[in-house]
Structure 1
Amino acid sequence: MPDLTYRNIRSDDFDDLHTMVSHWSVTRQLGGWPWPADADFTRSRCKPYEGDGFVWAVCLDDHLIGSIGVTNGDLGYMLNPAHHGQGIMRHAARTAVDHAFQTTDRDHLTGSTWYDNPTSARLLERLGFVHWQTTYIRSKARGFPVLVHHRRLARVDWERP
């Protein structure tokens, strides 16, 4: 496993972030990102998150290779395909979930995956997230509603040895 660092996303992350979201395999799994990748939209995301929660750059040698966050109690993430299969997102997700439960009083977190993203579904399941609802949500990139599996992780389950 490479040495990862986590930090706020910055304006100088634009090139790395835009390269990542220029992969259809990445953007098709994101609910709110446009396709094709839009430089202005990417630039709007190259700043520290100011809402409820956090969004971090996942970095290798201080270069953004992905992002992860918990916003409004919902875990979300993306990773450059060049770094798939290395356990990076599993490590980042554990770190983010730990941070979310340590810094809030939420009794649970949520995480969702499109029906056609079994890799992400397995990641959530390995973290202890349990399916609780299936709905259709409009995908900005795909341009139509897509079946989504919603999962929950209770704090008591996360903290159990």
Structure 2
Amino acid sequence: MEITTSRLRLRPARPEDLDTIHAVLSHREAMRWWSTPPHDDIEQSRAWLDAMIANTAAGAADFVVEHEGRVIGKAGCWKAPDVGYILHPEVWGRGFASEALSAVIDHVFVATDLGTLNADVDPNNAASIRLLERLGFVGTGEAKATWHIGGQWMDSLYYSLERSRWQTRQEG
């Protein structure tokens, strides 16, 4: 399954994506808000990519994101109904996260019977919070010390997008 937007191609991950995925997962700034520290070596990224490929083969709506033929990150539901994304910082600020996540949301709500999509975001990640809210997600709660990353406890804000809210936005 592939999704094409005006500028992006979202497709299942493949083993040959390893180098470009590792460039994202080993980048300190890209991983600043992720649930693990930056990958120290390519074998960590290989295991991560292998898991993504296996999850997608098992039906997960999880995609690598390509721009102009180059993988720039990933977006999707690694485990439904949880949605997430990560892009290489060199493409930040160009609307790619919004474009990719919008396409994933539309795909999931059209292709499945899920009633809600959920997101877990660091309270300090203002850009992701703004993006989720622009896409119709609403805050549902918060929790302290939910992720232990690189020796430090991180907090979480929880967001959800109900199918009915998505449908209303589609009609408006």
- Specify the code of the residue in structure 2 equivalent to 1:85: G
Please say if 1:39 is aligned against 2:42.
yes
- 2:27, 2:38 within 8 Å by CA — same for their partners in 1? no
- 1:139, 1:146 within 8 Å by CA — same for their partners in 2? yes
| Superposed CA offset, 1:120-159 (max 9, x none) | 110000011000110131233x322211100010000000
Q: Which residue of 2 aligns with 1:144?
A: 152
- Residue 116 of structure 1: how far off its partner (Å): 1.1
The whole-number CA distance in structure 2 between the counterparts of 1:108 and 1:143 is: 32
Please say if 1:9 is aligned against 2:13.
yes
- 2:22, 2:39 within 8 Å by CA — same for their partners in 1? no
SS at match of 1:94: helix
The whole-number CA distance in structure 1 between the counterparts of 2:6 and 2:72 is: 12
- 1:74, 1:109 within 8 Å by CA — same for their partners in 2? yes
Q: Which has the higher helix share?
A: 2
Q: Which of 86, 90, 102 does residue 98 from structure 2 map onto? A: 90
- 1:12, 1:46 within 8 Å by CA — same for their partners in 2? no
What TM-score do the two structures reach when normalised by structure 1?
0.90
- Residue 2 of structure 1: how far off its partner (Å): 6.8
- Specify the code of the residue in structure 2 equivalent to 1:156: S
- Specify the code of the residue in structure 1 equivalent to 2:92: H
> How is 1:105-120 mapped onto 2 (pairs within 5 angstroms)?
105-120=113-128
Q: Which residue of 2 aligns with 1:103?
A: 111
- Specify the code of the residue in structure 2 equivalent to 1:126: R
Q: Which residue of 2 aligns with 1:55?
A: 62
- Specify the code of the residue in structure 1 equivalent to 2:67: L
- 1:67, 1:78 within 8 Å by CA — same for their partners in 2? yes
Unaligned runs of 5+ in 2: none
The whole-number CA distance in structure 1 between the counterparts of 2:155 and 2:43 is: 28
Give RMSD over aligned pairs: 1.8
- Residue 3 of structure 1: how far off its partner (Å): 2.1
- Residue 49 of structure 1: how far off its partner (Å): 4.0
SS at match of 1:93: helix
SS at match of 2:97: helix
- Residue 52 of structure 1: how far off its partner (Å): 5.6
The whole-number CA distance in structure 2 between the counterparts of 1:129 and 1:104 is: 18
The whole-number CA distance in structure 1 between the counterparts of 2:44 and 2:135 is: 31
